[in-house]
Amino acid sequence: MAAEDEDPADREELDYRFTLANERTFLAWIRTALALLAGAVGLDQLTPDLAPVPVRVVLSVALAVGGAGLGVAAYHRWVRVERAMRAGGPLPATRTMLVLTVCVAVAAAVFSVLIVGRSR
Amino acid sequence: MTSPRDPGLQPERTLLAWSRTALVLAADALLVLRTGYVRRLPGLAALGGLLALAAVALYAHGVRRRSAVEHSPHAPAGRWWMRGLAVVVVLAAGGSAWSVLVNAGG
């Protein structure tokens, strides 16, 4: 059961409300990742005239890769928070929000340029 | 650790979070499944079907999790579900990228 002992979720009893809050935060990140994937497929299938095919493919694949990365980041975040709560330490900082914000802002800027360019 | 319990709300909100996640995953699964079907790619369609099954499993886990938490305040979170969900997201990303590349290829 050595592997089980490593599991931060089983190591020590914790106020269940904190466990559930961490769980819901993890799920919220997962949904954000899944929304990026829906954006990737939607961009590809619903906006055939937005940009030349290579540009659309690059944007869509970038969104998909971002979604995958965010899914993995969500898991690591969940583990780290779970560990910190059990150790009674401060919650770990995360750069994920900053990275996500910058990525979404860049994507929005690119889409704006494409939409304006198309309407000319 | 003793703490005031709010038996209704915490488990309920957590179940809702699992169900919302399952719904979004189901939507992504259907998009992948649709591309696989329309483009006649059995592999892609199978991946979409697998993701749809994962969405069902996710919802079932949410329901089970809710009743577990209601019966014991210290029900462990289940690391493997979190890990599995991260893997499912990566698979879904692969399916999405595959769909995009298939459509780009005509």
Q: Per residue in A75-120, pLDDT tens?
A: 999 999 999 988 888 998 888 999 999 999 999 999 999 989 888 7
Q: Which of B25, B77, B100 sits opposite A57 (nearest CB)?
A: B100
The yes-or-no verdict on residue A2 having pLDDT over 60 is no
Residue of B nearest to A82 (CA): B77
Residues on chain B touching A10 (C-beta within 8 angstroms): 76, 79
- For residue A51, the SS3 value is coil
CB contact under 8 A, A72 and B97: no
Residue of A nearest to B90 (CA): A68
Contact flag B100-A60 (C-beta cutoff 8 Å): yes
Domain boundaries, chain A: 12-119
**B82-94: pLDDT as tens digits:** 999 999 999 999 9
DSSP string, A37-102: HHHHHHHHHH-TTSS-HHHHHHHHHHHHHHHHHHHHHHHHHHHHHHHHHHHT-PPPP-SHHHHHHH
Residue B51 confidence class, pLDDT cut points 50, 70, 90: very high
pLDDT top residue among B10 and A33: A33
Read off the tokens for A76: 């690591």
The pTM of this model reads 0.88
Which band of pLDDT confidence, cut at 50, 70 and 90, is reported for residue B50? Answer: very high
The Cα B48–Cα B26 span in angstroms is 9
CA nearest neighbour of A17 among B13, B86, B63, B78: B13
DSSP state of A50: S
Residues 6+ apart with CB under 8 A from A3: none
Helix axes A96-118, A53-87, angle to 10 degrees: 160
Q: Return the top range by mean pLDDT from A9-18, A83-92, B27-36.
A: B27-36
- What are the chain A neighbours of B103 within 8 Å (beta carbons)? 44-45
Strands (E) located in chain B: none
Question: What is the pLDDT at residue A87?
Answer: 87
Task: Indicate if the pLDDT at residue B56 is higher than 90.
Answer: yes
